[in-house]
Homo-oligomer: A and B are copies of this chain.
Amino acid sequence: MPESIPADSVGLVEPQTAHFAEPLQLFSERSLPEFELIYETYGQLNANASNAILICHALSGHHHAAGYHSMEDKKPGWWDNAIGPGKAIDTHRFFVVSLNNLGGCHGSTGPTSIDPKSGKIYGPDFPLVTVQDWVNSQALLADRLGISQWAAVIGGSLGGMQALQWSIAYPERISHALVIASAPKLSAQNIAFNEVARQAIRSDEDFQDGRYLDQQVMPRRGLKLARMIGHITYLSDDSMREKFGREMRGGKLKYGYDVDFEVESYLRYQGQTFSETFDANSYLLMTKALDYFDPAREHDDNLASTLKLAQCKFLLISFTTDWRFAPERSREIVDALLEARKQVSYLEVDAPQGHDAFLMPIPRYMEAFQAYMNRIADEVNQ
């Protein structure tokens, strides 16, 4: 619990919900008859609505990116170190919108919602949504908020894919795309890790073909395994070595299957905690959105031709020890943007934390991020 709210925090925030009564056509050729998006905003929208920033979340993220929901909160939102007064995304200058994506499990319409057609929980009947679908739903939210053009769309990992998709799907509605620790599409290895995670969930007896809520059970073992696998890919080999090394729990080998090494205990704890708070169908759906993202697919697999559609400027950031979306994946995007003659800045940050680095307050990262955002703020306030 924060004894008092820090001065550079956006403070206490309250999520809002936007209801959309019109059907949303999806790329799967299915549609949602109606839907809701939960979101938070930080800072003030200026008179000509030119200072709006959209934050897109990653695999297991949500709308609560900054500030606190109550004085009892132990931790602030997931990107509080980047969003706030005087921070990289300065809420004195910007109006920041952060939402939970469709298919999520934190308040937006998703597998745990009631299907208005049947009156029952969607569960596995909730349609697969793609990055394109998310961006379309975010555009409807922008309309609702009176934002015709984002000063910037910003995201890390899967969030960066949404920023990239914005640049080509709504070129006239975005001034800057900030694509952090991301990739133009998953590699076979990325897909392989996602597939193991899905198999872990789907082969849990309590998954019940996705109807676990109806059966009042939860596929916790599967979700725990999925998160453990994911977690390994978020950390670098170096950071695991530094954090845990071969440190033993209890100081000696137990010659059994209890925890011997600290890293085992850490992973089990992370997996267990996650499995108690995240919805399995949402997790499955998010991994598929990752697998499916491949904007060049409809342009003869030519990323440069694809990005010719964009009109915004770009900032790409990668982290040296990130092996989930390594710097070369960001450079693929940078190279394609250069070939498409777009304006792009690129920063490769030397950081030991692996993929997770994009969430960390690493000085060089935050300074470059802030400098870029200040330039955008100056443009907006001209």
Which residue in chain B gives the minimum CB-CB distance to A27?
B255
A241-B187, A284-B257 known; A263 and B221 CB under 8 Å? Answer: no
Given the complex of chains A and B, what is the CA–CA distance between A192 and B240 in angstroms? 9
Partner among B188, B199, B260, B271 whose Cβ is within 8 Å of the Cβ of A245 = B188
- The answer to whether A127 has its CB under 8 Å from any CB of chain B is yes
Given the complex of chains A and B, what is the CA–CA distance between A225 and B221 in angstroms? 12
Given the complex of chains A and B, what is the CA–CA distance between A224 and B200 in angstroms? 9
Given the complex of chains A and B, what is the CA–CA distance between A243 and B29 in angstroms? 31
Interface of A is mostly: helix
Q: 1/0 contact trace for A222-254 toward B, CB 8 Å?
A: 001100110010010100110111100000010
- The answer to whether A350 has its CB under 8 Å from any CB of chain B is no
Partner among B196, B241, B255, B261 whose Cβ is within 8 Å of the Cβ of A229 = B196
Which residue in chain B gives the minimum CB-CB distance to A129?
B255
A142-196 with Cβ < 8 A to chain B: 185-189, 191-193, 195-196
Given the complex of chains A and B, what is the CA–CA distance between A203 and B271 in angstroms? 13
- The answer to whether A357 has its CB under 8 Å from any CB of chain B is no
- How distant is A77 from chain B, measured CB to nearest CB, in Å? 28
Inter-subunit contact A189/B232 (CB<8 Å):
yes
Interface size class of A (residues with CB under 8 A): 35 or more
Given the complex of chains A and B, what is the CA–CA distance between A200 and B243 in angstroms? 24
Inter-subunit contact B128/A192 (CB<8 Å):
no
Which residue in chain B gives the minimum CB-CB distance to A198?
B257
Inter-subunit contact B237/A189 (CB<8 Å):
yes
Inter-subunit contact A199/B237 (CB<8 Å):
no
Given the complex of chains A and B, what is the CA–CA distance between A229 and B200 in angstroms? 10
A228-B196, A232-B196 known; A255 and B187 CB under 8 Å? Answer: no
A253-B292, A255-B28 known; A200 and B225 CB under 8 Å? Answer: yes
- How distant is A256 from chain B, measured CB to nearest CB, in Å? 7
> In the complex, what residues of B have CB within 8 A of residue A253's CB?
292
Inter-subunit contact A225/B225 (CB<8 Å):
yes
- The answer to whether A8 has its CB under 8 Å from any CB of chain B is no
> In the complex, what residues of B have CB within 8 A of residue A260's CB?
288, 291-292
> In the complex, what residues of B have CB within 8 A of residue A294's CB?
246
- How distant is A225 from chain B, measured CB to nearest CB, in Å? 6
- How distant is A124 from chain B, measured CB to nearest CB, in Å? 9
> In the complex, what residues of B have CB within 8 A of residue A203's CB?
221, 224-225
- How distant is A204 from chain B, measured CB to nearest CB, in Å? 8
> In the complex, what residues of B have CB within 8 A of residue A214's CB?
none
Inter-subunit contact A255/B202 (CB<8 Å):
no
Which residue in chain B gives the minimum CB-CB distance to A259?
B195
Inter-subunit contact A246/B198 (CB<8 Å):
no
- The answer to whether A268 has its CB under 8 Å from any CB of chain B is yes
- The answer to whether A348 has its CB under 8 Å from any CB of chain B is no
Given the complex of chains A and B, what is the CA–CA distance between A195 and B259 in angstroms? 9
Given the complex of chains A and B, what is the CA–CA distance between A244 and B191 in angstroms? 10
- How distant is A130 from chain B, measured CB to nearest CB, in Å? 9
- How distant is A241 from chain B, measured CB to nearest CB, in Å? 5
Partner among B199, B205, B235 whose Cβ is within 8 Å of the Cβ of A225 = B199
Partner among B30, B202, B264 whose Cβ is within 8 Å of the Cβ of A191 = B264
Could you tell me which A residues sit within 8 Å of B by CB distance? 27-30, 127-128, 185-189, 191-193, 195-196, 198-200, 202-203, 205, 221, 224-225, 228-229, 232, 235, 237, 240-241, 243-246, 253, 255-257, 260-261, 263-264, 267-268, 271, 284, 288, 291-292, 294
